[in-house]
Amino acid sequence: TDKNLRRCRKKTEKSSNVPGGLCAILCQQDDDGQWKMCHVANRALTDVETRYGQTELEAAAIKFACADALYKYLVGAPKFEIFTDCKPLVHFFNNPTSRAPLCIERQILAIQGLDYVVKYQKGAENIADYGSRPLPMVKSVNELEEGLRTSVSEDNEYLSRMAKDVNCNDYQFLKEVIQSNLRKKHGKDPRVSRFLGIASVLSVVGEIILCKDNVIPPLSSRRRFVEKAHKIGLSGETRTLKLLQEKIWVSWNC
């Protein structure tokens, strides 16, 4: 639920060291205490920002993250952590009475409605700072190849299970009704009646049934769709449903 989600939202990380841009990353802590990256945002610097000093630019990155890109996730949340690789900002943002330069003062005022604490983390350890640093030389591709094999294997396994699901009798029966326009004949069949309200926008493409542009998955696949969507966004019920609705027909009651 959203309540449980807010309780574990404790950490954001951001950096402005990417040449020509600002970067912000929102992290969440899972049930095992591990921090998971769940949102990334970035943008190019404006003409005025290109003339900022480094400290002013770091302050602008915090404002961009908390007041713009990630505001909807942070407003109303319990105290969260902001990690920056600029030590002076720790004092300016954590002390309301500090006399910061005017440019930095504006950034502080922009996020004064949020409950946060700013902490220092050197750039080499700040995940939002990676874009400004060259990638390490790869001495061996074995680890990369193994990761790719694992990813492909998982995808093939999922597609294999999906292929079995679409061949189930109920799904094949519904496909036949749609393709042969037999919905009036079988309108009282529970496998068909649940779809009568959207019958005019149903179609079949290959082995898959569509409602407009959204996939109607077999009943046996729906739980896996929900689980995968939840893992992608690490979200509560409402946000998971919204994510699914982008590509999947989600009248789960039917």
Q: Name beta bridge partners: 14.
A: 24
Q: Which of 27-36, 58-67, 218-227 has the lowest mean pLDDT?
A: 218-227
> Which pLDDT value is given to residue 115?
92
- C-alpha distances in Å from residue 40, one per residue of 13, 43, 135, 223: 10, 11, 19, 27
Is the residue at 138 inside a domain? no
Is the residue at 190 inside a domain? yes
Domain of residue 227, residue span: 162-246
Instruction: Kindly state the average pLDDT of the residues 233-253.
Output: 66
**Together in a domain, 173 and 121:** no
> Which pLDDT value is given to residue 17?
44
> Which pLDDT value is given to residue 159?
54
> Which pLDDT value is given to residue 92?
94
pLDDT at 113 over 60: yes
Which tokens in the block code for residue 213?
A: 């542009």
Task: Give SS3 for 36.
Answer: strand
**pTM given for the model:** 0.48
CB burial of residue 144 (10 Å; 0-12, 13-18, 19+): exposed
Total structural domains within the chain: 2
- C-alpha distances in Å from residue 85, one per residue of 27, 90, 116, 166, 205: 17, 9, 16, 51, 51
**Together in a domain, 166 and 118:** no
**Together in a domain, 32 and 93:** yes
Mean pLDDT of the chain: 75
Q: What is the C-alpha to C-alpha distance for residues 246 and 99, in angstroms, rounded to an integer?
A: 47
Which tokens in the block code for residue 1?
A: 């639920």
Q: What is the C-alpha to C-alpha distance for residues 210 and 175, in angstroms, rounded to an integer?
A: 10
pLDDT at 85 over 80: yes
E strand or H helix that includes residue 57 = helix 54-63
How would you classify residue 212: left for phi > 0, otherwise alpha for psi between -120 and 50, otherwise beta? left
User: Residue holding tokens 């597609």?
Assistant: 159
Residues 117-153 pLDDT 10s: 999 988 777 777 764 444 455 555 565 565 555 554 5
Give the CATH number of the domain where residue 86 resides: 3.30.420.10
Is the residue at 90 inside a domain? yes
**Together in a domain, 117 and 198:** no
Which tokens in the block code for residue 251?
A: 């009248």
> Which pLDDT value is given to residue 148?
54
pLDDT at 7 over 60: no
Task: Give SS3 for 203.
Answer: strand
| Band of pLDDT at residue 211, cut at 50, 70 and 90 | confident
Q: Name beta bridge partners: 221.
A: none
Instruction: Kindly state the average pLDDT of the residues 177-202.
Output: 81
**Together in a domain, 111 and 169:** no
